[in-house]
């Protein structure tokens, strides 16, 4: 078990934060850049589930509910991790570190947005999507943040399940059920998460070491982390190709998933090659490349049903 003993004091501010500073702090609590990436996967999945353009009010409701759900989970995460956030340079400007928001304000915000997200999705979409949203919040907070993150280098692997939930929520919002197509896309995001996040942990290895968080990059060499990224990149691409016969998908998705997959795997191998040679690895290249890969694949998921040309 890894424990971090950090004093709970909050830096004194010369003036009390104004409305604008508070509002910005609440937005920061939700980690909007993370939410943006999650929502990229939602709309295309809804289009695939509908095999066309779904009801736009349903899309809007799902996006609003999904944003509230992810924002709640991220805010809970910041509330619980405020001790280690003070140690890490990457998180030193978060609102609970700077004192813009108090722990109580963050906790209340987390509960309110979480409850609102579940209620909103239940009323505007269906109970399946609402239950999935509640499960995503609970998993991210209780399993990843409070249990896995500080105890095992596999934290990102299993903790990434919460980041896959928007795929299931989007599908369920349209169909009221789950299916193999949704589960395959869930698997794509699940397998993609390690080669996306591990390069970031390589870049900020010293931050995590100082905070006592046993990220894989902290407890293993760069070569091991890069090799694991290669294996997961291959698995991600293989999983994405399973959608072609199952959905079935047409030529647009097939070409994009194949070409983007080759690029993703090449970038992972590039990182591994540099790690073996002992030179500068530049892991953020794979980190940013992974975002582009996922975006391209899910754009193709949404475009393909609208321009469907069977392969046969």
In whole angstroms, what is the distance from residue 141 CA to residue 35 CA? 16
Question: Do 39 and 156 have their domain in common?
Answer: yes
Question: Do 223 and 253 have their domain in common?
Answer: yes
User: Which of 177, 192, 215 is at the close of a domain?
Assistant: 177
Q: Is residue 156 assigned to a domain? A: yes
Q: Measured at the alpha carbon of residue 199, what is the angle toward residues 197 and 200, in degrees to the nearest 5?
A: 65
User: Which of 115, 149, 177 is at the close of a domain?
Assistant: 177
Total domains in the chain come to 2
Q: Is residue 237 assigned to a domain? A: yes
Query: Residue 184: CA atoms inside 13 Å, Cβ hemisphere, count?
Result: 22
Reported for 189-193, long-range contacts at CB under 8 A and 24+ positions apart, including other chains, are 189/41, 189/160, 189/163, 189/164, 189/294, 190/160, 190/161, 190/164, 191/232, 191/235, 191/236, 191/239, 192/232, 192/236, 192/290, 192/293, 192/294, 193/156, 193/157, 193/160, 193/163, 193/164
Question: Do 231 and 131 have their domain in common?
Answer: no
Question: Do 151 and 185 have their domain in common?
Answer: no
Question: Do 31 and 169 have their domain in common?
Answer: yes
pLDDT value of position 15 = 66
CB atoms within 10 A of CB 211: 23
User: Which of 150, 177, 204 is at the close of a domain?
Assistant: 177
Question: Do 196 and 307 have their domain in common?
Answer: yes
pLDDT along the chain (312 residues), means of 10: 45 65 92 82 95 95 95 95 92 92 96 97 97 96 94 91 94 96 97 95 92 92 95 98 95 96 97 89 93 96 81 42
Question: Do 170 and 186 have their domain in common?
Answer: no
pLDDT value of position 10 = 46
In whole angstroms, what is the distance from residue 238 CA to residue 172 CA? 24
Which pair of tokens denotes residue 5? 């003993």
Q: Is residue 100 assigned to a domain? A: yes
pLDDT value of position 302 = 95
Q: Is residue 259 assigned to a domain? A: yes
Question: Do 190 and 135 have their domain in common?
Answer: no
Q: Which CATH number goes with the domain that contains 158? A: 1.10.357.140
Query: Residue 103: CA atoms inside 13 Å, Cβ hemisphere, count?
Result: 10
Question: Do 91 and 132 have their domain in common?
Answer: yes
Q: Which CATH number goes with the domain that contains 236? A: 1.20.120.1780
Q: Is residue 21 assigned to a domain? A: no
Question: Do 142 and 236 have their domain in common?
Answer: no
Question: For residues 182 and 49, is the Cβ–Cβ distance under 8 A?
Answer: yes
> Which residue range forms the structural domain that includes residue 42?
26-177
Question: Do 173 and 191 have their domain in common?
Answer: no
Question: For residues 99 and 10, is the Cβ–Cβ distance under 8 A?
Answer: yes
Indicate the pTM of the whole model: 0.90
pLDDT value of position 4 = 46
Q: Is residue 18 assigned to a domain? A: no
Question: For residues 85 and 91, is the Cβ–Cβ distance under 8 A?
Answer: yes
């Amino acid at each position: 078990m890894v424990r971090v003993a950090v004093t709970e004091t909050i830096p004194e501010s010369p003036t009390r934060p104004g409305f604008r500073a508070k509002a910005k702090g609440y937005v920061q609590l939700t980690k909007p850049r993370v939410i943006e990436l999650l929502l990229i996967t939602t709309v295309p999945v809804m289009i695939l589930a509908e095999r066309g353009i779904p009801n736009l009010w349903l899309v809007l409701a799902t996006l609003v509910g999904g944003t509230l759900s992810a924002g709640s989970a991220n805010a809970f995460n910041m509330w619980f991790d405020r001790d280690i956030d003070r140690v890490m340079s990457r998180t030193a400007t978060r609102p609970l570190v700077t004192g813009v928001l108090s722990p109580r304000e963050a906790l209340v915000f987390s509960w309110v947005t979480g409850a609102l997200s579940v209620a909103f999705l239940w009323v505007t979409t269906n109970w399946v999507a609402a239950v999935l949203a509640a499960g995503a919040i609970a998993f991210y907070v209780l399993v990843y943040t409070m249990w896995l993150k500080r105890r095992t280098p596999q934290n990102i692997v299993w903790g990434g399940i919460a980041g896959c939930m928007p795929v299931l929520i989007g599908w369920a919002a349209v169909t009221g059920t789950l299916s193999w197509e949704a589960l395959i896309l869930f698997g794509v995001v699940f397998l993609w998460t390690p080669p996306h996040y591990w390069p970031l942990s390589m870049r900020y290895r010293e931050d995590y070491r100082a905070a006592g968080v046993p990220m894989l990059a902290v407890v293993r060499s760069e070569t091991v982390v890069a090799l694991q990224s290669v294996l997961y990149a291959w698995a991600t691409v293989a999983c994405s190709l399973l959608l072609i016969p199952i959905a079935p998908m047409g030529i647009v998705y097939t070409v994009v998933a194949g070409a983007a997959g080759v690029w993703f795997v090449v970038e992972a191998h590039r990182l591994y090659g540099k790690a073996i040679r002992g030179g500068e690895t530049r892991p953020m290249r794979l980190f940013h490349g992974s975002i582009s890969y996922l975006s391209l694949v899910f754009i193709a998921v949404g475009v393909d049903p609208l321009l469907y040309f069977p392969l046969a």
